[in-house]
């Protein structure tokens, strides 16, 4: 490149090593790298050490509660709503309740630094944690390092503390669910105890009533006893009639005996017997005398027999009469016994009825006992085998798990670091390229300011070289990421990178034009460092000191970041960012040419003549 100035001859060949160093672009590039890299690394490291713990509460974070709640015998549980309320009230972060669509759209557009997502089955998993196959409730935390690098690190650290608070907050729900299960088991066992008490009462009743198996036989025995009682009464009445008849018969027999005795007195019989004997002596073979003798003997026997009959029928000591009297007495006792038997069988029958009632209550109690035990067994937790118990123990220890997702992870050479690399390079590369050019001070007594044409050529050269280097940086930024970034629009990434590079080349050139080689370099690097801390791509804007938050809105890198967010995430804002960069770049060019024109006008006024072209590089 050439410069305009006083009449000068061609520059002589320099043998001085210092002069050669100033004229060697490679040497100046090495010097630029040696100066800039440690400075940039040190500045970035200083910003990395910034502690935002006192201001992290201002980070806007979306919380999505999709929990539908869970209803069981103990009532309705809404653990997701409880966790959400507790997080919002805690103020640990600037949690904002939003729906899922707005949350993830805000994460892509940079409105939220990350999203905390509570699933629909959150409460159900907590309340059924003792059931086989139940998994821990899962909270998903999603970051997007395309927008801000430190958000995932600071947010991840904050979420660890918040996660512990969540575990404490839902402990009552999980342990309460287990306690509810044990309580239900206790209720079932108490019901079983009540049933067993009723079973005992029924057994006592059964023992008093003998056995319900006797019911049919006792009924028949009762009927038989009643018939026996009736027969005994009939028999007693008959025997009383027999006794009365015997009395009458005895009276008649006595009268007969008395009559026979009167008829046949002993003297008469004796006389008749003596007369028959005399007659038989006179006529021993007379058959009539024999018959008369037999008749007289028969009368004697009749007299004795009739008296014996009368005696048997009337004398209490006689065998017959005493037997009749005993029969009458026995039939009376039989009647009394039969009546008592009948009454006893009635009592037995009634007792058997009570036994039947007791047996029914026993059956009912046994059924309730069985049902209570069955219900209690169903409600009791089934901890399964050893592996299932180990799994349950793990679930009880960590009933809620946290899964971290990244739309574009930056750590470990992840794709999320590409936008930051491109953004920093878009300003750092023009500074390094300008450092490879020779320094030239405009306001001196022995140097002529550059012409507008020379300034334009330098601007074109710096821009072209910077764009070329940015192509290489861009390729390296993509191929060194694992996995490789997949922006929503690669074309927009290229366009915004080119616009950012040209804009930064213009702005850095302004500083070099105004302040010269050394001061321009230092002021450019200082400007880069200030923007890196305030533009929002490394540190969250809400967590930096107030002056840097104000600087955020006027920092050109802020709009470069917005353009990358739109290009990488596929959200609105690309065209507005691109127009802003173009306007800032054009404003930088205007400042450059305005400053050059001002310097040349001032110089011409001082030297008092039109300058001629000077050789320059």
What is residue 9's predicted lDDT score, i.e. its pLDDT? 36
Please report the beta strands in 108-177, taking only residues with DSSP state E, as ranges in sequence order.
Answer: 114-118, 137-143
Angle between helices 490-534 and 25-48 in degrees, nearest 10: 70
Per domain, the residue ranges of the chain are: 16-49+410-607, 56-191+384-406, 213-371
Structure tokens at 85: 């309320």
Place of tokens 């103020």: 91
Dihedral angle of Cα 580, 583, 586, 588, to the nearest 10 degrees: -60
Burial 280-293 (b: 16+ CB within 10 A, else e): eeeeeeeeebeebb
Give residue 384's pLDDT.
54
Which 8-state DSSP code applies to residue 96? E
CA angle, corner 68, sides to 67 and 72, nearest 5? 120
CA distance 385 to 391: 10
Q: Which two tokens stand for residue 163?
A: 């996660």
Residues ≥6 apart with Cβ < 8 Å to 63: 84, 87, 88, 95, 96, 97, 98, 103, 115, 116, 118
Of the candidates 278, 287, 597, the residue with the CA atom closest to the CA atom of residue 450: 597
Model pTM?
Answer: 0.62
Instruction: Give me the helix-helix angle, 418-436 and 452-479, nearest 10°.
Output: 140
> For 403, which DSSP code?
E
On the question of a cis peptide bond just before residue 483, with omega within 30 degrees of 0, the verdict is yes
Euclidean distance between CA atoms 529 and 524, whole angstroms = 9
- Residue 318 CA to residue 326 CA, distance in Å, equals 12
Half-sphere exposure in the Cβ direction for 241 (13 Å, CA) = 6
Strands 75-77 and 94-97, how do they pair?
A: unpaired
Quickly tell me which residue has 């946290």 as its tokens: 402
The span from the first CA to the last CA of the chain, in angstroms, equals: 4
Between CA 262 and CA 600 the distance in angstroms is 202
Rounded to whole angstroms, the Cα distance separating 470 from 14 reads 34
DSSP state for residue 554 in the 8-state scheme? T
**Residue 482: closest CA among 415, 433, 540:** 415
Q: Return d(Cα 534, Cα 563) in angstroms, integer.
A: 16
| Cβ–Cβ < 8 Å for 66, 118 | yes
pLDDT for 179 equals 46
Rounded Cα distance, 5 and 607, in Å: 11
- Token pair of 320 as six digits: 């017959």
Give CA–CA dist 431/520, Å, rounded: 9
Closest to 424 in 3D by CA, of 511, 522, 504: 504
State both tokens at 492: 């927009």
Fold exhibited by the domain 56-191+384-406: abc type-2 transporter like fold (3.40.1710)
Please enumerate in sequence order all residues whose Cβ is within 8 A of that of 374, keeping only pairs 6 or more positions apart, or say none.
none
CA torsion sign for 279, 285, 287, 293 is positive
**320 with 313: CB under 8 angstroms?**
yes
Q: Hey, what are 174's tokens?
A: 């999980």
Contact 517, 441 (CB under 8 A): yes
118 beta partners: 65
Cα torsion through 541, 157, 147, 503, rounded to 10: 50
> CA-to-CA distance for 479 and 2, rounded, in angstroms?
39
For the residues of 500-551, what is the DSSP string, one character each?
A: HHHHHHHHHHHHHHHHHHHHHHHHHHHHHHHHHHHSSSSS-GGGS-HHHHHH
Q: Which residue in 342, 361, 330, 55 sits closest to 196, CA to CA?
A: 361
Beta-carbon contacts of residue 144 (< 8 Å; ≥ 6 apart): 107, 108, 114, 151, 406, 407, 408, 416, 569
At 313, list the tokens. Answer: 């029928």
- Can you spell out the DSSP letters for 194-212? HHHHHHHHHHHHHHHT--G
384: region left, alpha or beta (phi > 0 left; psi from -120 to 50 alpha): left
Structure tokens at 546: 């107030």
C-alpha distance from residue 290 to each of 274, 277, 296 (Å): 13, 10, 10
Q: Cβ(95)–Cβ(64) under 8 Å?
A: no
For the chain of 617 residues, list the mean pLDDT of each consecutive stretch of 10: 37 44 55 60 59 80 93 83 86 91 95 92 76 67 91 81 68 52 56 60 57 63 70 71 72 73 64 70 70 71 72 74 75 74 73 69 69 63 53 53 86 91 94 76 51 84 95 95 94 97 94 78 82 88 86 94 96 96 95 86 70 45
Place of tokens 């050019």: 437
pLDDT for position 337: 75
Q: Residue 72 is inside which H or E element, if any?
A: strand 70-72
Strands 2-5 and 612-615: antiparallel
């Amino acid at each position: 490149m050439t410069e305009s100035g006083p009449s000068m001859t061609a520059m002589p060949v320099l043998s001085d090593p210092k002069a050669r160093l100033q004229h060697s672009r490679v040497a100046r590039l090495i010097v630029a790298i040696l100066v800039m890299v440690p400075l940039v690394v040190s500045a970035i490291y200083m910003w990395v050490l910034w502690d935002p713990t006192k201001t992290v509460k201002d980070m806007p974070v979306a919380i999505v509660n999709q929990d539908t709640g869970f209803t069981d015998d103990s009532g309705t549980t809404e653990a997701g709503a409880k966790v959400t309320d507790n997080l919002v009230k805690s103020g640990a972060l600037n949690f904002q309740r939003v729906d899922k669509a707005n949350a993830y759209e805000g994460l892509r557009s940079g409105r939220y630094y990350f999203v905390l997502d509570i699933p629909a089955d959150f409460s159900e998993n907590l309340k059924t944690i003792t059931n086989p196959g139940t998994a821990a409730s899962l909270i998903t935390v999603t970051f997007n390092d395309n927008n801000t690098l430190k958000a995932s690190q600071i947010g991840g650290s904050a979420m660890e503390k918040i996660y512990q608070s969540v575990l404490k907050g839902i402990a009552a729900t999980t342990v309460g669910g287990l306690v509810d299960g044990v309580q239900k088991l206790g209720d079932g066992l108490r019901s079983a105890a009540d049933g067993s008490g009723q079973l005992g009462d029924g057994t006592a009743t059964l023992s008093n009533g003998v056995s319900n198996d006797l019911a049919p036989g006792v009924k028949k025995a009762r009927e038989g006893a009643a018939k026996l009682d009736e027969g005994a009464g009939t028999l007693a009445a008959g025997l009383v009639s027999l006794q009365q008849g015997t009395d009458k018969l005895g009276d008649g027999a006595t009268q007969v005996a008395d009559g026979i005795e009167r008829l046949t007195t002993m003297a008469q019989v004796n006389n008749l017997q003596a007369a028959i004997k005399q007659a038989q002596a006179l006529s021993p073979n007379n058959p009539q005398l024999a018959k008369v003798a037999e008749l007289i003997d028969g009368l004697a026997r009749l007299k004795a027999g009739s008296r014996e009959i009368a005696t048997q029928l009337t004398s209490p000591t006689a065998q017959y009469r005493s037997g009749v009297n005993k029969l009458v007495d026995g039939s009376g006792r039989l009647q009394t016994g039969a009546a008592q038997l009948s009454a006893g069988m009635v009592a037995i029958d009634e007792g058997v009825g009570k036994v039947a009632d007791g047996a029914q209550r026993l059956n009912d109690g046994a059924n309730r006992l069985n049902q209570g035990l069955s219900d209690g067994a169903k409600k009791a937790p089934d901890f399964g085998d050893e592996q299932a118990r180990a799994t349950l123990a793990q679930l009880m220890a960590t009933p809620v798990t946290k899964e971290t997702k990244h739309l574009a992870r930056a750590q470990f050479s992840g794709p999320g670091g590409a936008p930051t690399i491109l953004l920093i390079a878009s300003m750092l590369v023009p500074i390094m390229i300008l450092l490879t050019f020779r320094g030239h001070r405009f306001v001196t007594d022995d140097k002529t300011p550059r012409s507008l044409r020379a300034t334009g050529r330098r601007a074109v050269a710096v821009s072209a070289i910077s764009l070329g280097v940015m192509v290489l940086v861009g390729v390296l930024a993509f191929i060194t990421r694992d996995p490789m970034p997949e922006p929503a629009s690669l074309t927009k990434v290229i366009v915004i990178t080119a616009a950012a590079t040209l804009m930064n080349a213009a702005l850095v050139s302004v500083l070099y034009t105004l302040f010269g080689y050394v001061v321009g370099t230092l002021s450019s690097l200082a400007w880069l460092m200030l923007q890196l801390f305030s533009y929002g791509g490394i540190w969250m804007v809400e967590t930096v000191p107030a002056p840097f938050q104000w600087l955020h809105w006027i920092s050109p890198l802020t709009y470069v970041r917005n353009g990358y967010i739109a290009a990488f995430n596929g959200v609105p804002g690309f065209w507005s960012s691109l127009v802003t960069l173009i306007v800032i770049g054009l404003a930088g060019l205007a400042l450059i040419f305005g400053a050059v024109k001002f310097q040349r006008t001032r110089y011409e006024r001082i030297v008092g003549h039109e300058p001629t072209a000077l050789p320059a590089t």
